[in-house]
Homo-oligomer: A and B are copies of this chain.
Amino acid sequence: MQPFLSFSPEVAAARAAGKPVVALESTIISHGMPYPQNVQTAREVEQIIRDGGAVPATIAVIGGKICVGLTDEQLELLGQSPEAMKVSRRDLAYVLSQNKLGATTVAATMICAQLAGIPVFVTGGIGGVHRGAETSFDISADLQELAQTNVAVVCAGVKSILDIGLTLEYLETKGVPVVSVGQPGFPAFFTRESGFNADFQLDTPAEQAAFIQTKWRLGLQGGVVVSNPVPAADAMPKEEIDAITVQALQEAAQNGVTGKKVTPFLLARIKTLTQGRSLATNIALVKNNARVGAALARAMVEYPTA
Q: Are B220 and A97 in contact (CB under 8 A)?
A: no
Does A25 interact with chain B (Cβ within 8 Å)? Answer: no
Question: Copies per complex?
Answer: 3
Does A176 interact with chain B (Cβ within 8 Å)? Answer: yes
Q: What residues on B are CB-neighbors of A220 within 8 Å? A: 89, 92-93, 111
- Shortest Cβ gap from A200 to chain B (Å): 5
Q: What residues on B are CB-neighbors of A306 within 8 Å? A: 3
Q: What residues on B are CB-neighbors of A219 within 8 Å? A: 2, 115
Does A44 interact with chain B (Cβ within 8 Å)? Answer: no
The complex places the Cα of A138 from the Cα of B137 at a distance, in Å, of 13
Query: Which of B2, B94, B135, B170 is in CB contact (< 8 Å) with A177?
Result: B94
The segment from A16-24, A52-60, A208-216 that touches chain B is: A208-216
Q: What residues on B are CB-neighbors of A172 within 8 Å? A: 88, 90, 141
Q: Are A135 and B134 in contact (CB under 8 A)?
A: yes
Does A129 interact with chain B (Cβ within 8 Å)? Answer: yes
Per-position 1/0 for A155-198, Cβ under 8 A of B: 00000000000100111111111100000000000000000000
Does A143 interact with chain B (Cβ within 8 Å)? Answer: yes
Q: What residues on B are CB-neighbors of A177 within 8 Å? A: 90-91, 93-94
Q: A129-B137, A134-B135 are in contact. Are A174 and B144 (CB under 8 A)?
A: yes
- Shortest Cβ gap from A74 to chain B (Å): 20
Per-position 1/0 for A32-74, Cβ under 8 A of B: 0000000000000000000000000000000000000000000
Q: What residues on B are CB-neighbors of A169 within 8 Å? A: 136-139
Q: Are A88 and B136 in contact (CB under 8 A)?
A: no
Q: A115-B219, A220-B111 are in contact. Are A96 and B214 (CB under 8 A)?
A: yes
Query: Which of B3, B92, B129, B200 is in CB contact (< 8 Å) with A94?
Result: B200
Contacts A91-B199, A136-B166, A139-B169 supplied; 16 other A-B pairs, CB < 8 Å? A3-B306, A4-B214, A4-B218, A90-B171, A93-B177, A93-B214, A94-B200, A97-B207, A97-B210, A98-B200, A111-B218, A136-B169, A138-B169, A140-B173, A141-B174, A141-B175
A/B interface sample: 9 pairs, CB < 8 A: A4-B217, A90-B172, A93-B220, A96-B218, A97-B214, A134-B137, A137-B173, A139-B173, A144-B173
The list of the 6 closest CB pairs from A to B, nearest first, reads A89-B175, A93-B215, A137-B169, A93-B214, A97-B214, A90-B177
